[in-house]
A and B are shown apart, each in its own frame.
Chain A
Amino acid sequence: MTGTQMVAQTATRAEVCVVACADAFRGDGEILASAFGTIPAIGVRLARHTFSPDLMLTDGEAYLVRGTWPVGGPAVGDVEGWSPFRTVFDLVWHGKRHVMMIPSQVDPFGSTNISAIGDYRAPKVQLLGVRGAPGNTVYHPTSYWVPKHSTRAFVPQVDMVSGVGNDRAAAAGPGASRHHDLRRIVTDLAVFDFQPGTGALRLASVHPGVSVEDVAVATGFPLVIDGDVPVSRLPTAEELQLIREVLDPKSLRDKEVAP
């Protein structure tokens, strides 16, 4: 048995998701990487520890910290900067940031909702509010993490556009579209990118053990597929060791995506 096959048999779905999130930050260079959710947090730390060493990460409070530390605990490493919220706001508008947010709803062109479900005047479900999503999406690269891929999350139309999709950015003109840059959507089933030209969500890969049909059934609008859909890459042996022993020894990732 080769090393790759061995990893294939042992990597969990959550671990596949971790490297898919990490890969969203590959080649980003010297930018602030902000990741919401456990698996994206493990992903950006893995990316920095391995193939994207120049990324800057916060401690979740107000410091930029170097080093590699586990999720679920305090940051351990050298403080290399001060990033109170207003500094983060400045960096958002400056553009050297890539965020991975968790949307409650996503539409076929990547508009997302984190504000409210249902009638806006008296929502069926009040969520967080738009937070920084409108600004993030028109100012710097944005990716998303959907821990539970379902027809409730992937909908034909979102109820309150918080994060701006490709069609909406184009329609709003250069003020919105100039720095608009949606990158990827990683879910517990698959990875999407965006089709050049149309800006539509496109199935980029399916995770091991997931079929294209599985993704289609869990998506509330027709999938856009260009050619053969590859299987999402597996963590390398080194990455797997890093995830299990260093970044998430308590397996918090399994609470987000069951093994």
Chain B
Amino acid sequence: MVDKRMTEAEVVSRLRSGMTIGIGGWGSRRKPMSLVRAILRSDLTDLTVVSYGGPDVGLLCAAGKVRKVVFGFVSLDSIALDPHFRAARQSGSIEVAEYDEGMLQWGLYAAGIRVPFLPTRAGLGSDVMTRNPDLKVVADPYGGDDTVAMPAIHLDAAIVHMNRADIHGNAQFLGPDPYFDDIFCMAAEQAFVSVERIVPTAELTAQAHPATLRINRLVVTGVVEAVGGAHFTSCVPDYDRDEAFQRDYVKAAGDPGTWQAFNDRYLSGSESDYRKAVAARAQEVLA
């Protein structure tokens, strides 16, 4: 069986500018942040990002990586709005396709199960229809109500962060919610899963129910072991959101000078440099 282990850099080497990339998690919860940080360090640009958005979207916008965001919301959960996404929108520097969050699921699911669209009532009567003029309303061939034909959202790549996986790509969530990570993987040509720990296959179900194995290896291209890979978003039960760090992130975004300092301190080096800088910050707070 294939050993799919790779590094963040190897994942990024398989991505190209202009790609459509789906990012798993939800808001500021279990985001594949080490992979996002690797994209920040790369020369990738002109990306279309599909996300139940959180700081992943904000950071990529701040770094000028984004051409278009496909979204239903962008939020940091405990802080309602992401400052970089706001700034990018308010300056008109990015395109958007804004959908009801259920429509977004439907579009990814349609791509995953290889149908051109899936019908839904969601969107009808709202400005989601007027802001996305390509959306079509279709008649029910069986005589019922008209519905929106939500088109498949095909992803060139998906990146998601789970709690555990084996080297083959069978990946497990141990927190309360799988979010839509498996659907992102199914919708993608290539899916990359980062995890807190890679373990032997048998260990995955030693303590946990097999239903937690939400992602099967047959949809996974690469597995990255990334300890703290979701930081500063939550990755329960491994760790909670780093609320203090998230507050710093928001505060730093308020001004170009403070953002440059934040960027220099945390985002200019390697992932290992990032972890050291985060640990150093925690020490400072304690001192």
Contact = CB atoms under 8 A, between A and B. Distances in A.
A123 B90 contact: yes
A175 B90 contact: no
A172 B123 CA distance: 10
B127 A62 contact: no
A138 B86 CA distance: 28
Interface in A16-65: 61-63
A161 B121 contact: no
B102 A92 contact: yes
A255 interface: no
B137 interface: yes
Contacts of B176: 61-63, 82, 84
Contacts, number: 143
A134 interface: yes
A116 B131 CA distance: 12
Interface hub of A129, A137, A160 (most chain B Cβ within 10 A): A129
B272 interface: no
B184 interface: no
Given A126-B81, A135-B102, A168 B126 contact: yes
A182 to B, nearest CB: 12
Nearest to B182: A86
Contact of B125 (A63, A92, A125, A164): A164
B99 A130 contact: yes
A85 B52 CA distance: 11
A177 B179 CA distance: 29
B contact face: mostly helix, strand, loop, or mixed: mixed
A94 B101 CA distance: 15
Interface in B67-120: 71-75, 80-81, 85-86, 89-92, 98-103, 105, 120
A221 interface: no
Contacts of A187: none
Contacts of B121: 93, 135, 138-139, 175-176, 178-179
Contacts of B98: 115, 129-130
Interface in A70-93: 82, 84-86, 89, 92-93
Contact of A123 (B26, B80, B89, B100): B89
A162 B92 contact: no
Interface residues of A, number: 49
A167 to B, nearest CB: 9
B69 to A, nearest CB: 10
B75 A169 contact: no
A86 B89 CA distance: 27
Nearest to B26: A85
A175 B131 contact: no
A139 B122 contact: yes
B277 interface: no
Contacts of A179: 121
Contacts of A135: 100-103, 120-123
17 contacts: A82-B176, A85-B26, A85-B179, A85-B180, A86-B179, A89-B101, A93-B120, A120-B131, A122-B89, A123-B89, A126-B81, A139-B121, A161-B125, A162-B128, A171-B125, A175-B147, A176-B124
The 3 A-B pairs with the shortest beta carbon distances in the complex, nearest first, are: A122-B92, A135-B122, A129-B73
Given A122-B89, A139-B122, A162-B127, 18 more contacts: A86-B105, A93-B122, A115-B98, A126-B86, A129-B75, A130-B101, A134-B123, A134-B128, A135-B101, A135-B123, A138-B125, A161-B127, A162-B128, A172-B124, A175-B146, A175-B148, A176-B121, A176-B125
Interface of B: 26, 52-53, 71-75, 80-81, 85-86, 89-92, 98-103, 105, 120-128, 130-131, 137, 145-148, 176-180
Interface of A: 61-63, 82, 84-86, 89, 92-93, 115-116, 120-135, 137-139, 160-165, 168-169, 171-180
